Amino acid sequence: MSLPYLDADTLYSQIGPAAAVQILGDALAAGLDPEADSPRLFAPTQRGEFLIMPALGTERNGVKVLTVDPQNTAVGLPKIQGSYLLFDAATSAVIAVLDGTALTALRTPGTTVLALREMAKATPFFSAKPQVLVYGTGIQAKNHIRYFHALFGQSEFVLVGRALAKAQAAAAELAAEGISIHAEEDPAVEEADVIICASSSPAPLFDGARVAGHALVAAIGQHGLEHRELDAQLMLRAEVIVEGRASALRENGNTVDLHAGGQWLGPAPLNVRELAAGQFTRTKGRPAVYTGVGMAWEDLAMASAAVDLCNVALQ
């Protein structure tokens, strides 16, 4: 019997934006603790790095192996490529192999939009027709727009990229899907209700002083303490939520102003599980920031759900 393989088309057909958000929310509601997640392992390649992400569950375990090659985008290839192995926890047998790139493209915006949804619930002054500013033109930026639009259908988007032509092309692709969007070079940051950073920029994307006091901000485009999309100005004035506290201390450059020597300088930020449990409250006049680097539990939850959804085809 051959090992089942779930390719990108299968994953996209089985798991849409609302389903992805629901899968991750259900995992957190069932008691999953992001702080118990396995650390991500790194190893260099000739032009980038390997990312190895193991995760343990109650019935299934899994590991994702990715390569990250920043030079690929210049020749039209994906920056991130890889595969996911899903195991039966009781027998340690491999159940299925999944496209790791597609899995990442599903679970990352799912986690971000889950966080933004819960942050919006805690914001009594959140706009019914949010103006959303998105940095980035790759698959993560586009999928974040698709996911946010699926949950907040009245949103209007502005897309910003390092090259206006690429931003315009991405905006045209999304507009063809019925999303209200256009591209700009110099956006009005202060007018945004929501800002999503899904870029490969190693340095802050905008002056944090320009962010409105009511705004929600999500930054998920980078990992590594030496890289950041948000500046200290914003992080020090915002109410901050992290994907996981331990993962943030290890590799989230956006949070470096908030800790030293492995210890938080003030109250430890809430993580996404605590956010989803309703523990977050907004303070008027302070932006709210969610920032994450991608965690292995998200891949396991998504891969396990995908295998269940495809169960008939896998038998």
Is the predicted pLDDT of residue 315 greater than 80, yes or no? no
Q: Given phi > 0 = left and psi -120 to 50 = alpha, else beta, which region is 136?
A: left
More confident residue, 125 or 62: 62
Single-letter amino acid, residue 269: P
Please provide the CATH number assigned to the domain covering 113-291: 3.40.50.720
Q: What is the pLDDT of residues 82-137, one digit of tens each?
A: 999 999 999 999 999 999 999 999 999 999 999 999 999 999 989 999 999 999 99
Which tokens go with 304?
């396990």
Give domain 5-103+296-310's CATH number out of 3.65.10.10, 1.25.40.10, 3.20.20.300, 3.30.1780.10: 3.30.1780.10
Is the predicted pLDDT of residue 30 greater than 60, yes or no? yes
Q: Given phi > 0 = left and psi -120 to 50 = alpha, else beta, which region is 262?
A: left
pLDDT at residue 1 in the model:
57
pLDDT at residue 311 in the model:
76
Intrachain domains 5-103+296-310 and 113-291 with the same fold = no
Of the candidate ranges 44-48, 68-72, 103-107, the one whose mean pLDDT is the lowest: 68-72
pLDDT at residue 312 in the model:
43
Q: What is the pLDDT of residues 235-262, one digit of tens each?
A: 999 999 999 999 999 999 999 999 999 9
Give the residue from 219, 229, 238 showing the smallest Cα distance to 282.
Answer: 238
Which sequence spans correspond to the domains of the chain?
Answer: 5-103+296-310, 113-291
Pair 241, 217: CB distance under 8 Å: no
Q: What is the pLDDT of residues 157-194, one digit of tens each?
A: 999 999 999 999 999 999 999 999 999 999 999 999 99
- Match 């597609």 to its residue by tokens: 102
B/e letters for 107-128, b = 16+ CB within 10 Å, e = fewer, are bbbbbbbbbbbbbbebbeebbe
Q: Please state, rounded to an integer, the average pLDDT across all residues of the chain.
A: 95
Quick check: pTM over 0.85? yes
Which tokens go with 173?
């692709």
Which tokens go with 267?
């109250």
Pairing label, strands 60-68, 49-56: antiparallel
